[in-house]
């Protein structure tokens, strides 16, 4: 019986449709000890004894994958930057993600962060609790321009919500869907033009060599004075030191961050000292519906691979397809 290590914290010893899918396909499910870190989960995988992994964002390096001997890793989510995909391909490990399961959740979270930062809700709540009522007026969001860096599934889900709030939406994408943009009133622009134009810049690209630290001292300086940065994509995209300086200097109005270079965010991070930065624990893609959908699709990918079916739309390293066998 093949053994699958299931590491996402919300699934730990919590049966559901995902576990029925795995068990019906013939898998034995193994969970890590509650409270283990991502690194500890990766180390557990590396000890061997597993045939597959239903993964969170564990750092799955070449060494971990090679030592583990797994045949497949099903990532619960759409980002796969924590996995050495090139090594996985070389080792014959199929890597899958769960497209189409979380864009509504991320889009809602993006709008929530934008509204909370732009209306200064964090400090307003604190003022009431402290018995102070400064009632300082902040800018109105309606009528402003939202710049989306990335116009894929998530970016498109943000568009309709933002337009409903009265925002003008512009976007930059390295592979733009021009037909969608034209049909939905989204103006496609160069990256630097977006930075100079947008009142709110929201990141929705994957982590690649080109996007690491794409928000840095130079690009932050290009952003409009008094603008806001929202990041629900990946922490690697933002130079956090440069962001702290841009906020401390007053160049930016604030920021809403759901992701960080190091997660959990260290308690020594200077981001924690800024009261106009709203921080969340990488929750953008997680609501009850998306969590269930991601878990079920990840489980189905493993079941399909084990039973000889190729889940084409979910596989990251598609070059394996022709000759891959469990």
Residues 235 and 108 in one domain: yes
Residue 326 lies in a domain: no
* Residue 48 pLDDT: 97
> What separation in angstroms does the CA of 311 have from each of 94, 216, 262, 319?
10, 38, 31, 13
* Residue 322 pLDDT: 75
Residues 19 and 94 in one domain: yes
Residues 110 and 195 in one domain: yes
Q: In 3D, which of 288, 269, 160, 141 has the Cα closest to residue 200?
A: 141
> What mean pLDDT value characterizes the chain?
97
Write down the catalytic residue from 28, 90, 192, 263: 263
Residues 7 and 134 in one domain: no
Residue 325 lies in a domain: no
Our answer to whether residue 129 is catalytic in this structure is no
Tell me, what CATH number does 136's domain have? Answer: 3.40.50.720
Give the chain's residues under pLDDT 70: none
Domain that holds residue 246: 103-279
Phi/psi at 271 (nearest 5 deg)? -60, -30
* 266-285 residue pLDDT tens: 999 999 999 999 999 999 99
* Residue 305 pLDDT: 97
Residues 32 and 130 in one domain: no
* Residue 78 pLDDT: 95
Residues 71 and 112 in one domain: no
Q: How many domains is the chain built from? A: 2
Our answer to whether residue 182 is catalytic in this structure is no
* 252-270 residue pLDDT tens: 999 999 999 999 899 999 9
Residues 144 and 185 in one domain: yes
* Residue 46 pLDDT: 98
Q: What is the pTM of this model?
A: 0.93
Residue 167 lies in a domain: yes
Give the number of other Cβ atoms within 10 Å of residue 22's Cβ. Answer: 25
Q: In 3D, which of 250, 249, 271 has the Cα closest to residue 261?
A: 271
Our answer to whether residue 262 is catalytic in this structure is no
* Residue 323 pLDDT: 85
Coil, strand, or helix at residue 147?
Answer: strand
* Residue 321 pLDDT: 77
């Amino acid at each position: 019986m093949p053994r699958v290590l299931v590491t996402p914290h919300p699934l730990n010893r919590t049966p559901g449709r995902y576990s029925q899918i795995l068990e019906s396909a013939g898998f034995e499910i193994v969970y890590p000890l509650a409270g283990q870190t991502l690194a500890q989960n990766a180390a557990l995988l590396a000890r061997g004894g597993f045939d597959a992994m239903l993964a969170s964002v564990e750092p799955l390096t070449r060494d971990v994958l090679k030592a583990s001997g797994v045949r497949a890793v099903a990532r619960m989510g759409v980002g796969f930057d924590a996995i050495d995909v090139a090594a996985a391909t070389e080792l014959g490990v199929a890597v899958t993600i769960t497209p189409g399961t979380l864009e509504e959740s991320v889009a809602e979270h993006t709008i929530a962060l934008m509204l909370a930062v732009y209306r200064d809700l964090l400090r307003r709540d604190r003022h009431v609790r402290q018995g102070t009522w400064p009632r300082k007026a902040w800018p109105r969001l309606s009528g402003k321009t939202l710049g989306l860096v990335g116009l894929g599934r998530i970016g498109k889900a943000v568009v309709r919500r933002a337009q409903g709030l009265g925002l003008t939406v512009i976007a930059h994408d390295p592979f733009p869907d021009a037909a969608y943009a034209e049909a939905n009133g989204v103006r496609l622009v160069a990256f630097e033009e977006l930075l100079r134009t947008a009142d709110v810049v929201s990141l929705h690209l994957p982590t690649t060599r080109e996007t690491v630290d794409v928000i840095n001292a130079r690009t932050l300086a290009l952003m409009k004075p008094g603008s806001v940065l929202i990041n629900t994509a990946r922490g690697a995209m933002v130079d956090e030191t440069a962001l702290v300086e841009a906020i401390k200097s007053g160049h930016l109005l604030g920021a809403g961050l759901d992701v960080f270079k190091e997660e959990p965010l260290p308690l020594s991070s200077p981001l924690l000292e800024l009261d106009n930065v709203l921080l969340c624990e990488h929750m953008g893609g997680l609501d009850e519906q998306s969590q269930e959908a991601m878990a079920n699709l990840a489980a189905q990918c493993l079941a399909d691979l084990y039973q000889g079916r190729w889940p084409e739309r979910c596989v990251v390293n598609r070059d394996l397809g022709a000759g891959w066998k469990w």
